Chain A
Amino acid sequence: MTTLSVVSLFPSLLNVNGDAENGDVLAARARWAGLEAMHLRIEEVGALPVEPDVIVLGSGTDASAEAALERIAPLQDELRRWATEGVPILGVGTGMELLGWGIEFADGRTLEGLGIVPGRAVPREARVSDDLIVRSKHGLLVGYENHARDYVGAEGSPLGRVVRGSGNGRGSGQEGVVMGSVIGTHLHGPVLAKQPALADAMLAATAERRGVAYATGGPAAEADGYADRARAVILERLGVSGR
């Protein structure tokens, strides 16, 4: 039986908001669907599986971004190849920024990104830390954003339109970036637990690559019920219709 390997990259540097736990969510859902799956928290490039099935890159602090880039830079070619081959990759916050063209910090420093998805992170006037609701092809995405940079240049292929919150900012009304199987978003923390539809889309895509079928199952119904109610509580507080 195929074992799906879900990888979170460098969680010691890129996991300030529980973003790496999206790897746990994916592995759990795959198991609930009757597949074998493991979540690998990778700190050393050498420990990477040859062909990972899903990759999660979380958010870090400004100071850790450079160290994270140093560690991830040797993977640039592989990440490009995986992306073109359709391996689902989720970049959250700093993770998305590193996958993009680069980061401009408020103090004038810049970091060259991996250039796998379009877009550049540029300083915002003030940090935003609030709910973020996005309308996407996966339905309404409900979550939280906490970032001090906007994201420009992804206007051609965003993840969705902002219903509440700032998202990519700069008046774009858009949130995140999508390029093939690569998804970048400011929705931090357990974004995949809160939006099972997005998690399942990633899992279905990667299962198909392995030639196995993916169908949500087992305890997912319980977890998804909680996710639905948690989302409903937030939407109701914000006065946003869930449909």
Chain B
Amino acid sequence: MRYAPAILVGRFVRFLARLRKPGGGSAVPGLVVNRLAPGYLPHALGAFPDGLVVVSGSSGKSTTTKMLVAVLRAHDRSVFTNPSTANIAQGLTSALLERADVRGRVPGDLAVLEMDEGHGARVTADLPPDVVVLTNVMVDQIDRFHDSEAVAGMLGRIASRATKSIVLNADDAYLVQVAAAAERGVVVERFGVSAEVLAAAPRGLGNARTAGERLAAGDGLRIVGLAGDVTTLELHGRAVDVRLPSRGIHYAVDAAAAVAGARAILGRDFDLDVAARAVSEMPAVFGRGERVTVRGTEVEFVLVQNPSSFQLNVDGIAPGTEQILFAMGSDVRDPSYFWPVDASGLGSVRVVSGSKAYEAALQLAYDGVEVGRVEPDLPTALDEFLALPVPEHGVKTIVFTADSMRRTRAHLGLAEAKEDA
């Protein structure tokens, strides 16, 4: 009953938060519990009988986490996982409180946690994950992470907590260094693309530094084929086709990370066919190519999280798409790091919005994109954009950064994404 008082307080705070913001999640209960009972988070996360998996990296961690959870559930495991919006300490504790009984225990065979690369090193300091899955090191949020070496260092610290295995992207030169530093007794499992798949990728993989060599057959889980939204994964000479939630090589890499991660935690219980089926049955991933009907019109949402996903997602928008709204919000402190992205593929953008609208419009103008109008006020921009007649070519497409995505969903009355489907 050690944690019961803190849990009760946490629940009460959650109740108050719900009164203030009905239906909304809040990190405050977690903050309070972490303050009252700092030992609770590691205690609760260490209590899952089949262990703890931590997923981190610059990009793709949300998708990888969701895929990994789906694969584990398809193997009849009951899994606790955190919504991707709760990937720092207080959010994690809040997510645990959602499921915890009065003593703070959370049901489940194992836990799969998406971990922010910046906070992960500190959060994992007190908990020994059995398996750490690392997706990649990409240029992201320069103001926060400074440079790729700093990110690689943080991921290296998270990896160093793994007690059983580290699963990592063999095509990422920084992660190859992390692998080299792995302690003895910790198994390093690799996944990566074949030379053919890389050669066919118009923009490469988007890693800050792509490793010079590809994973050899037999050295891990390989992505040996990619056509549209179907990828072929190969493990020890066996190949399976996996349907991805959307087109794009980054989804194939996420799928490989998830399948390799599942294999690491499940050991002999792992079944490649079950894993392939589980990923193939996943719905389109939230916010990236998600289609919704708003005010009677079909709209596609495209989330830009970092330069790499910006580039890949822009490239993935059907050419000739006539109506695009581009919104950049306050989550982008300084947009400099987006400038290497070639946004010319957008062709023409009807409305540029968000608190960084003029910064975004500036880049679009230099990339030769025709900008219809700049309207920093997002609700106004959305209303105008949705009121435009149905486009003759393509679907109405809203490209946004995370902050603008939240504001868009709130304005359109769309529920917070069901993260834990």
Contacts and interface: CB of A to CB of B under 8 A. Distances in A.
Contact of B149 (A61, A146, A190): A61
A226 B365 CA distance: 9
29 contacts: A16-B139, A16-B337, A17-B336, A18-B340, A21-B339, A21-B366, A28-B366, A61-B148, A62-B147, A129-B143, A129-B144, A129-B146, A144-B336, A146-B142, A146-B143, A146-B334, A148-B146, A188-B336, A190-B362, A193-B363, A219-B365, A222-B371, A226-B361, A226-B362, A226-B365, A226-B371, A226-B374, A227-B362, A233-B355
A109 B362 CA distance: 39
Contacts of A144: 143, 334, 336
B340 A20 contact: yes
Contacts of B358: 226-227, 229-230, 233
B286 to A, nearest CB: 28
Contacts, number: 84
A193 B337 CA distance: 14
B359 interface: yes
A194 interface: yes
Interface string A229-243: 110010000000000
B142 A230 contact: no
Given A146-B143, A190-B366, A222-B371, 17 more contacts: A16-B337, A17-B336, A17-B339, A18-B336, A18-B337, A63-B149, A129-B146, A146-B146, A189-B335, A189-B339, A194-B362, A223-B362, A226-B359, A226-B361, A230-B356, A230-B358, A230-B359
Interface in A187-232: 188-190, 193-194, 219, 222-223, 226-227, 229-230
Interface residues of B, number: 27
B191 interface: no
A137 interface: no
* Chain B contact surface mostly: helix
B338 interface: yes
A170 interface: no
Nearest to B147: A61
A127 interface: yes
